[in-house]
């Protein structure tokens, strides 16, 4: 499949589709996608040419902005579905367009897969020139240097990360996981889980250690999902809620994944004094099987799961005003979660959710919308999901919404020629002034409301 649109064009078209009933200004588009107004206009101009043969056109109106007009729905829908499938499931690694994406690809390869890759392999895999690859590696070396790690190249050009194992762990946690935990999940599970004796980062280290020791290669988002699952399992077990037996059609106890799960749980039990029943260990092993690991023990029976998820998330994004659009972390996370959910449903294994009450109390709208949209998936039509199960799905959606708002935050760097102390003092004064302005505005609004 040929990818027609660039990543930025795709984002702009996504916004235009979500506002298809009205004109939208380039300024508004730029705010939603995080570009400058000038950049937004550039990609609007590119879209204008690209849409001509796709059953649509971009209409401009002075003083009002831009509007997507679909002249041939059938042609446009085929085009858009191809774009969605290509965007969420790129068939070519060349779809990685941004510097950050390319960095992540290289670092993920170095830390989670074969531990080494050559410059030539990077050039061939990402279809980049030597100059661009050199720039990428220079930036990666700067990142690694902050942790006293080095990126070395041998005579054959093979790259490896060198340094103390503790430093490597710290880098992995900070680069791949900490921001996800802090920005996405802590608002929803932090207060509940941190009454525990173990931190999410410590759990991550345990998972990484044990998967590496038995050479089980899994991606960073699988690790992320597994850590969240174990955290919520610990809360559930403390409340006395266990899952019942799973009737599997293969001997999971003989798999490498089960050995990894057993080793992970042994370390957690030693640190926390909490007992995991055998069925819980089996269920953790199922998270590892066929979910990004090489040499998977079972095949994924639900081959249409990805297609259904893409379509469902597209509908959900429109209901939530685009706040979860283009979120690959959400797609990957739900793909793993729904595969596990289907195993539970087929085996009639109920599972409790320790944060159900918090979600129903604080996020009733998101809960109801998610339940409504996901309830239409053909995969789930034959099953009656409990609110406990829906809450797990909603947790993924809430994390995606949190990521969206975190991307919208304005970051300010305060620099002062007279030194760091002066810059910090100036920063505090700015914050104080901003806080006072916000309070004054709130009081003003309340006073006007009272007068009215």
Work out the pLDDT band at 1, boundaries 50, 70, 90: very low
Looking at residues 358-366, what average pLDDT do you find?
A: 88
- Do 423 and 415 contact (CB within 8 A), yes or no? yes
Beta bridge partners of 368: none
> Over the chain, what is the mean pLDDT?
76
Please give the pLDDT value at position 151.
92
Looking at residues 375-386, what average pLDDT do you find?
A: 89
Looking at residues 247-266, what average pLDDT do you find?
A: 83
Please give the pLDDT value at position 250.
63
Please give the pLDDT value at position 263.
94
Please give the pLDDT value at position 359.
87
Residues 79-105 as b or e (16 or more Cβ within 10 Å = b): bbeebbbbbbbeeeeeebeeeeebbeb
Q: Positive or negative, the Cα torsion across 264, 267, 270, 272? A: negative
Looking at residues 352-365, what average pLDDT do you find?
A: 86
For residue 363, give every residue at least 6 positions away whose Cβ sits within 8 Å of its Cβ, in sequence order, or none.
394, 398
pTM passes above 0.75: no
Beta bridge partners of 49: none
Report which of residues 68 and 417 the model is more confident about: 68
For residue 390, give every residue at least 6 positions away whose Cβ sits within 8 Å of its Cβ, in sequence order, or none.
367, 370, 371, 374
| Three-state secondary-structure class, residue 152 | strand
Instruction: Encode pLDDT of 107-160 as tens digits.
Output: 888 887 655 688 888 887 777 788 888 888 999 999 899 889 999 988 888 898
Instruction: State percent of the chain over pLDDT 90.
Output: 11
Q: What is the DSSP string of 408-441?
A: HPPP-----TT-HHHHHHHHHHHHHHHHHHHHHH
Which segment of 161-170, 227-236, 289-298, 362-371 scores lowest on mean pLDDT? 289-298
């Amino acid at each position: 499949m040929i990818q027609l649109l660039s990543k930025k064009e795709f984002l702009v078209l996504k916004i235009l589709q979500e506002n298809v009933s009205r004109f939208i200004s380039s300024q508004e588009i730029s705010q939603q996608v995080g570009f400058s107004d000038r950049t937004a206009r550039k990609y609007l101009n590119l879209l204008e040419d690209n849409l001509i043969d796709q059953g649509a056109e971009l209409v401009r109106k002075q003083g009002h902005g831009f509007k997507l007009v679909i002249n041939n729905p059938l042609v446009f829908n085929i085009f858009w579905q191809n774009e969605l499938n290509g965007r969420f499931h790129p068939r070519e690694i060349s779809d990685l367009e941004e510097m950050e994406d390319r960095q992540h690809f290289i670092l993920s390869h170095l830390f989670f897969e074969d531990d080494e890759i050559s410059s030539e392999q990077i050039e061939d895999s990402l279809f980049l020139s030597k100059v661009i690859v050199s720039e990428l590696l220079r930036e990666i070396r700067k990142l690694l240097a902050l942790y006293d790690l080095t990126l070395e190249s041998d005579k054959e050009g093979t790259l490896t990360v060198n340094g103390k194992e503790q430093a490597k762990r710290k880098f992995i946690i900070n680069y791949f996981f900490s921001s996800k935990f802090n920005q996405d999940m802590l608002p929803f599970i932090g207060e509940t889980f941190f009454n525990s004796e173990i931190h999410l980062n410590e759990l991550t280290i345990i998972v990484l250690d044990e998967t590496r020791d038995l050479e089980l290669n899994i991606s960073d988002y699988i690790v992320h999902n597994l850590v969240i699952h174990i955290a919520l399992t610990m809360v559930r077990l403390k409340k006395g809620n266990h899952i019942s037996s799973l009737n599997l059609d293969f001997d999971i106890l003989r798999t490498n994944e089960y050995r990894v799960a057993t080793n992970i749980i042994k370390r957690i039990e030693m640190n926390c004094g909490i007992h995991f029943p055998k069925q819980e260990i089996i269920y953790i092993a199922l998270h590892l099987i066929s979910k990004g690991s090489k040499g998977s023990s079972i095949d994924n029976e639900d081959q249409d799961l990805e297609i259904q998820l893409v379509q469902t998330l597209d509908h959900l994004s429109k209901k939530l005003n685009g706040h979860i659009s283009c979120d690959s972390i959400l797609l990957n996370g739900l793909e793993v979660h729904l595969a596990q959910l289907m195993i539970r449903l087929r085996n009639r294994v109920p599972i409790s959710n320790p944060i159900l009450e918090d979600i129903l109390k604080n996020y009733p709208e998101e809960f109801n919308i998610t339940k409504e949209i996901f309830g239409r998936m053909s995969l789930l039509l034959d099953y009656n999901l409990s609110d406990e199960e829906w809450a797990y799905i909603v947790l993924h959606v809430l994390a995606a919404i949190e990521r969206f708002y975190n991307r919208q935050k304005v970051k300010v760097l305060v620099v002062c020629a007279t030194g760091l102390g002066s810059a910090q003092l100036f920063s505090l004064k700015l914050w104080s002034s901003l806080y006072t302005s916000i309070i004054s505005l709130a009081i003003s609004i309340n006073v006007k409301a009272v007068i009215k």
